Amino acid sequence: MGRRKDLHSVFVVGSGPITIGQACEFDYSGTQALKALKEEGLRVILLNSNPATIMTDPEFADRTYIEPLTAEVAAQVIERERPDALLPTLGGQTALNLAIELAESGVLERFGVKLIGASLEAIKKAEDRDRFRQAMVKIGLDVPASQIARSLDEAKRAVEKLGLPVIIRPSRTLGGTGGALSSEYNDFLAKVEWGLANSPSHEVLIEESIAGWKEFELEVMRDCADNVVIICSIENVDPMGVHTGDSITVAPAQTLTDKEYQLMRDAAQRIIREIGVDTGGSNIQFAVDPKTGRMVVIEMNPRVSRSSALASKATGFPIAKIAARLAIGYRLDELPNDITRKTPACFEPTIDYVVTKIPRFTFEKFRDAADELGPQMKSVGEVMAIGRTFKESLQKALRSLEIGSFGFDGVSERERKSLTRKALWERLCKPNSRRLYYVAEALRAGMTVEDIAAATKIDPWFIRSIAEIVEDERRLQASKTLDAYELRSLKQKGFSDRRIADLIGVDESEVRRCRHALGIFPAYKTVDTCAAEFEAFTPYFYSTYDGENEAQPTSRSKVVILGGGPNRIGQGIEFDYCCVHASMALRREGFETIMVNCNPETVSTDYDISDRLYFEPLTLEDVLEIVRLERPLGVIVQFGGQTPLKLATALERAGVPILGTPPDAIDRAEDRERFNALVAKLNLRQPRGAIARNEREAIEGAARIGYPVLIRPSYVLGGRAMEVVWDERALRSYVEGALSASEKRPLLIDQYLEGAIEVDVDAISDGQTVVIGGIMEHVERAGIHSGDSACVLPPQSLGSDIVAELMRQTKLLARELSVVGLINVQYAIFQGQVYVLEVNPRASRTVPFVSKAIGVPLAKLAAQVMVGRKLTELGFVTEKVPRHVSVKEAVFPFTRFAGVDPLLGPEMRSTGEVMGIDESFAAAFAKAQKAAMASLPTAGTAFLSVKDSDKRELDGVVHRLYRMGFKLLATDGTARFIRALGIPCDTVRKVAQGSPHVVDFIRDGKISLVINTPEVVGAADSASIRRTALECRIPYFTTMAGAQAAVTAIEALQRRPSKVQALQDYYRD
């Protein structure tokens, strides 16, 4: 027994950029797998296009390819590296799809690569809905009635039999993309069409609707000896009809008797055996009719999934690590349970707490998208909380979300006044991101648990828990007093100090003082897989207001690292990457590292990463309690993004030492007036600006600055609600909306540097030496959020004088702000002058990208200087300008939000990023495009439709496209302009001019490249062009800068096809 002797090298495929439905959970699982495989002495080859991952750090694999995740690229890697096996079950749907392609195209066979974990047959059986269904029927399990349709006609016939409502599910898409419920015939036809277009296999499943049923998931593992264990059961609070990824879920299942649970367990075992997943983890979803208990199988993922990450964190059982070991031949009973050490991994974890996951949404970023939840996943992140009761874990999860909520306080007094009973009822009936708050509100309004359950289809058990909380709130609000007994009881139900304070009308600190005076402190319990039956050796803790504290602090010198909380647009995996690096670096420096975070998808919440893990909300209260217990040397706040940063000042005020850059520096950079003073003091230049607290101030300010202006509310992340405003009328309408949205926050108005080149600079400082990490030139011009813009390192168009000036200014700023750690500065180069746009004295989103591009782990160095090391000692004293070129490109979730125009703007909307590395900008940009969206075409028809102000830049683009042999196609105005340049160009109708129009052409595959810059944002006609290109996966560019870069890249591709190279080779140069 033991591991297979025929394997010496394994090829692991990652999941690529962070998107909705595929987030950093696959970095967590991939990293675990790589570590496990390397520990086994195997040579590990990795392919992943996402630079912000820990797994793509060069030390985690022997050969790391940051290249596009396509079958063609994977084949090139296989040809170079000749691995013995491909492990495709840890990189999400992306890796699985890639494996299918490689197997079916014969690449694996040609190079003798074995598919391990799951066979091609098993993957196809699980993924192909029709075959899966047949398999279930064969083993006697119930499934919803359904039919596959490969055309609209087939769909029509199917719905005649099934009757509406039905669910339409396109086959083989990520996170249920395109899945939709339909109860009306025309709507049904439209959704089928959309689904057919978006399914890689051009088929949709039309299924009996079981919306409203209870939904459960089981995480199952199997080894090569056919041992099968269930790691965790998960119950969705939301009923069927809401995508699991968008559902509030709890572990373990709460409302099944043992008889019912065991039937599900039996079914899961039969399913994994029938599908034939040889080894590793699978996730199986079930639905149960709450009235009769009829159980149907929904689907199975024959791989590690988002739910397995959750199950791993919820139980302490490292599914991915074990799955990797099983894939290379170990059996479950041969592997130890890391936590107990004495017992084997072949068992079923039992837990003595309740875990609640709540997804985090960003509907505010997609104003045209309705806040409605359905079978298509829309959340961008999630939080998990652990408590001894559901009430406690639920309330902890709510405050973990960081949406300004500290309990059931999501409905403001103002909203309450305008919320009629009817409106409230509708919000209960239609699942939305704020449903929990509406349930509480309905209870306050006197609706019964039964009525709310009927409206929401949420099990009454969960609603009763909320009812108990609401009842406590009511009592507290009425009495305004608390004795020790009541306070303890509230804390046991998960009430935050802040919520209690709000309810009795005092300050949060007052409640805390009172609580401490009464001797009421949280205890920390261990996540141990076994409900305390055996001794646990892993310090993985959660707080609860129960008696015994198991987290006994050590006498070592320790550092607390505050993580980034839930993923959201503007704050994602990049910050988790930095936190993990900090922990690794400081452990190596001999410190005890203590990680605090509440995001179950991350590497940072792997209990292996830090010496201690506190799975806790990142609020002042929760952090202060940990600090009170652990008494660390200091707390690191600069790696987790805005989340810990927002706590910095309050922590410092509470006497908590903050390591690195002083919190005052953050304030100096973020406070507008102090920042102006800083820039003035250093004699730097910044765009003219103004602060407005009302409409009059805004109009005056804008007039003084001169239009166009960039306007946004202060203190926001990811450019939320930021807009370019061209005249007073637009300004007025913005102010109207924004002032109400952001309450007391003033508006910031800036001169908009039209056409300016934006530059990001990351640097590190130990307080004396400042070293530039990287200078990134944005591809898109000023006006596009830096997080959404493609960028290149080293800069391509900046003169050496500008580069020198950027370095000088960055160093100046770092010194002035006494930065110890990382600093990021954003600049605009406008008419030959350098303007400072923004200074962030903390880790920025680009740190992982820069680190990978230059081959220097900046976050690690930063953590080291924060505990007193000097850059000279650490050997990083001069800028490293690599010979190769690295391009970062953003990835967007537009396909998820029907009706949203996929345009770039000052508000950040990307969820992830990819990296392209090559010898030239053109080649690297081509790779980045391929990784982010689709391969750039080297021939075909290019469609152009650009606004008048862009036409002067059109000349070069069309000439070059024409020279390369592209056929040109344009709408009337653009076509005339192109022909006037002496280049042949066909005219195509606009949508408004009737069929056959441009959208038809895109649909029919007659167009291979779209360049479309809109005259007016939101114009329906051009929006439909972009949407269709997006949906049909045709590369499209909405800025001239992007188009020019694309043309350059296409030229490079025509000269020579892309080649792959490992990161380790780039660094060797």
Cβ proximity to other proteins: between 221 and 931 the closer is 221
Q: Residue 263 interacts with other proteins (CB under 8 A)?
A: yes
Sign of the Cα torsion 491, 495, 498, 501 reads negative
Residue with tokens 């946004």: 712
Q: Residue 364 interacts with other proteins (CB under 8 A)?
A: no
CB contact at 8 A, 209 and 198: no
Per DSSP, the three-state class of 178 is: coil
- Binding map of other proteins across residues 559-578, x = CB under 8 A, - = no contact: --------------------
Q: Which of 121, 123, 110 is nearest to 13 (CA)?
A: 123
Beta partners for residue 838, in sequence order: 826
Cβ proximity to other proteins: between 382 and 472 the closer is 472
Q: Residue 385 interacts with other proteins (CB under 8 A)?
A: no
With CB under 8 A as the contact rule, the residue among 63, 129, 191, 525 that binds other proteins is 525
Q: Residue 125 interacts with other proteins (CB under 8 A)?
A: no
452-481: contacts with other proteins (CB under 8 A): 459-461, 464, 472, 475
Cβ proximity to other proteins: between 48 and 233 the closer is 233
541-560: contacts with other proteins (CB under 8 A): 546-548, 550
Q: Residue 349 interacts with other proteins (CB under 8 A)?
A: yes
Determine the Cα–Cα distance for residues 586 and 589; give it in Å rounded to an integer: 5
Determine the Cα–Cα distance for residues 99 and 86; give it in Å rounded to an integer: 8
Q: Residue 260 interacts with other proteins (CB under 8 A)?
A: yes
Counting Cβ atoms within 10 Å, is residue 153 exposed (0-12), middle (13-18) or buried (19+)?
Answer: exposed
Determine the Cα–Cα distance for residues 618 and 562; give it in Å rounded to an integer: 7
With CB under 8 A as the contact rule, the residue among 79, 121, 372, 533 that binds other proteins is 533
Q: Residue 346 interacts with other proteins (CB under 8 A)?
A: yes
Cβ proximity to other proteins: between 269 and 283 the closer is 269
Determine the Cα–Cα distance for residues 373 and 45; give it in Å rounded to an integer: 39
Size of the site for other proteins (CB under 8 A): 64
Residue 994 burial (CB count, 10 A): 9
476-515: contacts with other proteins (CB under 8 A): 485-486, 489
Residue 138 burial (CB count, 10 A): 9
3-state SS, one letter per residue, for 742-802: CCCCCEEEEECCCCCEEEEEEEEEECCCEEEEEEEEEEEECCCCCCCCCEEECCCCCCHHH
With CB under 8 A as the contact rule, the residue among 256, 272, 721, 890 that binds other proteins is 256
Cβ proximity to other proteins: between 169 and 525 the closer is 525
For residue 325, the minimal CB distance to other proteins (Å) is 16
Sign of the Cα torsion 807, 809, 812, 813 reads negative
Q: Which of 66, 33, 37, 38 is nearest to 52 (CA)?
A: 66
With CB under 8 A as the contact rule, the residue among 157, 294, 474, 952 that binds other proteins is 294
- Binding map of other proteins across residues 295-324, x = CB under 8 A, - = no contact: x-----------------------------
Cβ proximity to other proteins: between 182 and 249 the closer is 249
Sheet strand arrangement including 986-987? 986-987, 967-970, 941-946, 1009-1013, 1036-1037
Q: Residue 531 interacts with other proteins (CB under 8 A)?
A: yes
Q: Which of 304, 359, 353, 341 is nearest to 492 (CA)?
A: 353
Cβ proximity to other proteins: between 256 and 814 the closer is 256
Return the ∠ at Cα 175 (arms to 171 and 178), rounded to 5°: 55
- Judged by CB under 8 A, the stretch of 128-136, 259-267, 792-800, 1050-1058 that binds other proteins is 259-267
CA distances from 999 to 197, 283, 992, 1028 (A): 13, 39, 10, 7
Burial 1038-1068 (b: 16+ CB within 10 A, else e): bbbbbbbbbbbbbbbbeeeebebbbbeebee
CB contact at 8 A, 691 and 701: yes
For residue 229, the minimal CB distance to other proteins (Å) is 6
For residue 474, the minimal CB distance to other proteins (Å) is 12
Cβ proximity to other proteins: between 460 and 755 the closer is 460
Determine the Cα–Cα distance for residues 242 and 359; give it in Å rounded to an integer: 12
For residue 1011, the minimal CB distance to other proteins (Å) is 57
With CB under 8 A as the contact rule, the residue among 193, 348, 371, 652 that binds other proteins is 348
For 1047, the token pair is 């043309």
With CB under 8 A as the contact rule, the residue among 222, 388, 498, 785 that binds other proteins is 388
With CB under 8 A as the contact rule, the residue among 354, 684, 793, 806 that binds other proteins is 354
Cβ proximity to other proteins: between 181 and 250 the closer is 250
- Judged by CB under 8 A, the stretch of 197-205, 255-263, 421-429, 913-921 that binds other proteins is 255-263
- Judged by CB under 8 A, the stretch of 32-40, 71-79, 348-356, 716-724 that binds other proteins is 348-356
Cβ proximity to other proteins: between 514 and 523 the closer is 523
Cβ proximity to other proteins: between 344 and 996 the closer is 344
Sign of the Cα torsion 530, 536, 538, 542 reads positive
Counting Cβ atoms within 10 Å, is residue 989 exposed (0-12), middle (13-18) or buried (19+)?
Answer: middle
For residue 254, the minimal CB distance to other proteins (Å) is 5
Cβ proximity to other proteins: between 160 and 548 the closer is 548
Cβ proximity to other proteins: between 342 and 729 the closer is 342
Cβ proximity to other proteins: between 139 and 531 the closer is 531
Q: Residue 341 interacts with other proteins (CB under 8 A)?
A: no
Q: Residue 286 interacts with other proteins (CB under 8 A)?
A: no
For residue 1, the minimal CB distance to other proteins (Å) is 8
Determine the Cα–Cα distance for residues 968 and 961; give it in Å rounded to an integer: 8
With CB under 8 A as the contact rule, the residue among 112, 163, 293, 984 that binds other proteins is 293
For residue 533, the minimal CB distance to other proteins (Å) is 6
The DSSP secondary-structure symbol of 465 reads H
Q: Residue 248 interacts with other proteins (CB under 8 A)?
A: no
With CB under 8 A as the contact rule, the residue among 261, 363, 425, 1067 that binds other proteins is 261
With CB under 8 A as the contact rule, the residue among 74, 287, 332, 624 that binds other proteins is 332
Residue 103 burial (CB count, 10 A): 21
Q: Residue 351 interacts with other proteins (CB under 8 A)?
A: yes
Sign of the Cα torsion 369, 375, 378, 383 reads positive
CB contact at 8 A, 163 and 169: no
Provide the CA 630 distance to its chain's centre, in angstroms.
31
Cβ proximity to other proteins: between 256 and 711 the closer is 256
With CB under 8 A as the contact rule, the residue among 11, 317, 330, 353 that binds other proteins is 353
- Binding map of other proteins across residues 207-236, x = CB under 8 A, - = no contact: ------------------xxx-xx--x---
Cβ proximity to other proteins: between 254 and 796 the closer is 254
Sign of the Cα torsion 289, 293, 294, 297 reads positive
For residue 535, the minimal CB distance to other proteins (Å) is 8
Q: Residue 812 interacts with other proteins (CB under 8 A)?
A: no
Give the chain's largest Cα–Cα span. 86
Backbone angles phi and psi of 65, in degrees to 5: -105, 110
Bridge-based pairing state of the strands 757-766 and 820-830:
antiparallel
What residue ranges bind other proteins (CB under 8 A)? 225-227, 229-230, 233, 252-263, 265-266, 290-295, 332-333, 342-344, 346-354, 388-390, 459-461, 464, 472, 475, 485-486, 489, 523, 525, 530-535, 546-548, 550
